[in-house]
Structure 1
Amino acid sequence: MRLALTSIQIARFIITFSWLYHGIFPKLVHISPLEKVMTASIGLSNELSYLVTKLAGVSEVIFGMVFFVYYRNKYIVLLNILGLSSLLIFVAIFQPQLLIEAFNPVTTNIALIGFSFIILNALKDEFNNE
């Protein structure tokens, strides 16, 4: 039996993986130096910065799981686009030098937003064919 993944499923898996990975590894397992820089840039103390980073990690993991289950919900996909856009704007305002680093939020977030539009277009086509 051959498993054929549709573009919507590939986009779903990539978006979910990204939220889970970015929530677990640079925030929950080990707080990356860049995470510390970003939370420090808004004036948080070390203790509050630690708490905010851990809460952000948990939130990202929860959203990744919600997205995986409810990826066919237009509002969840739009929330994904809004969240990714907001995070990109946050970095542009508070840590603009990160926008020119390797593997930066521009390339990551724009790609994930693009996958979100693939899902929205596929959902639109499915609903129009019913």
Structure 2
Amino acid sequence: MKRKPIYVELNIHTDMEKLWTYTQTAELHEQWDLRFSSITYLPRKSERNTLAFLYETRIGFGLRISGTGRTKSSLREGAGGRLSTLAFGSEQPFSLIRHGAGYWQYRPNADSITFLTKYDYVTRFGRLGQWFDRLLFRPLFGWATALSFDVLRLWLEKRIPPAVSLQRTLIHYLCTVLLSLLWLYEGLVPKWMYPEAGELSIMQSMNMFPGMEQQALKWLGAAEILLGLLLLTYHRKKWIYYLQAAGLLALAGGALAYTPSLLEQPFNPFVLSAAMTGLCLIGLWTSKDLPDAANCIRKKGEMKK
């Protein structure tokens, strides 16, 4: 089965020495690279530009994959670029990766450095391992590489430490998923499946759609479902949070204006809208300078828009 090497490329606005330091120093490298939990360089024993290292990756459930590698660096005096080659492998029988090799390349531009990598590896477990790698592991590994590159970019360009970037990413996606689920639930369950439970009476009390309250309620539910789906796609855009805030204000304000007795209920529109508005604010605040694997070029020769 033919393998497709993993390729990631990204322009970073920094100087060569700083980028080299942040990628060639183990203590800094392990902070931004999601593929590794720890990296330890071993004392030099042979060539001056060659380093052996140990790496470890946590895969959950208390399991860890460990392996060894060797990296060799070289300078290209004429063009001012640099190259770091890499060979790695693991002897652990439950490691999918048996051994692999690749490189990091540093190309200087007028105001940035093009940092790119290309690597490939051989898997264990025969045909089953090859299919698992092709369908799941390799795409995930490539995505983790690209996301790591953008985490590094934010560290160098915006001075946002990797731990902060990853924490903000986790918070942002948690808010996105919760908000989307709430919009989908509110649009589907009380408005389409069980309107008689209370939503229909609220719509009737508003007297805005006489004789068509049930149809209007379904259209409102469809709009909420659509908003939940749009959020999953455009969660990095500011307008989606402004749209949600406007929707929440209109829904809660309209319901309470025509049926103020709803405030007496333990779970009323005000409580739900306030909680969702809070999630909107958190999602909006964490959407700025969020690392994104899509910022990277994933095919050699591809132009980034």
TM-score, length basis structure 2: 0.39
Deviation at 1:121, TM superposition (A): 1.0
Deviation at 1:48, TM superposition (A): 0.1
CA distance in 2, matches of 1:30, 1:117: 30
Equivalent residue, structure 1, for 2:279: 115
Greater relative contact order: 1 or 2 (C-alpha under 8 angstroms, separation 6 or more)? 1
CA distance in 2, matches of 1:42, 1:68: 31
Does the aligned pair in 1 maintain the 2:235–2:287 contact within 8 Å? no
Percent identity at matched positions? 26
Structure with more strand by fraction: 2
Using the TM superposition, name which of 95-104 and 18-27 deviates more: 95-104
Using the TM superposition, name which of 116-125 and 55-64 deviates more: 116-125
Equivalent residue, structure 2, for 1:9: 173
Opposite residue 220 of structure 2, the aligned amino acid is: A
Equivalent residue, structure 2, for 1:52: 216
Bigger radius of gyration among the two: 2
Establish whether residue 39 from structure 1 lines up as the match of residue 182 from structure 2: no
Establish whether residue 79 from structure 1 lines up as the match of residue 251 from structure 2: no
Opposite residue 65 of structure 1, the aligned amino acid is: L
Equivalent residue, structure 2, for 1:69: 233
**What SS is found at the alignment partner of 1:103?**
coil
Equivalences, count: 125
Establish whether residue 97 from structure 1 lines up as the match of residue 255 from structure 2: no
Structure with more helix by fraction: 1
CA distance in 1, matches of 2:196, 2:186: 10
Does the aligned pair in 2 maintain the 1:91–1:99 contact within 8 Å? no
TM-score, length basis structure 1: 0.87
CA distance in 1, matches of 2:276, 2:284: 12
Opposite residue 37 of structure 1, the aligned amino acid is: S
Opposite residue 58 of structure 1, the aligned amino acid is: A
Opposite residue 239 of structure 2, the aligned amino acid is: Y
Does the aligned pair in 2 maintain the 1:20–1:64 contact within 8 Å? yes
CA distance in 2, matches of 1:33, 1:21: 14
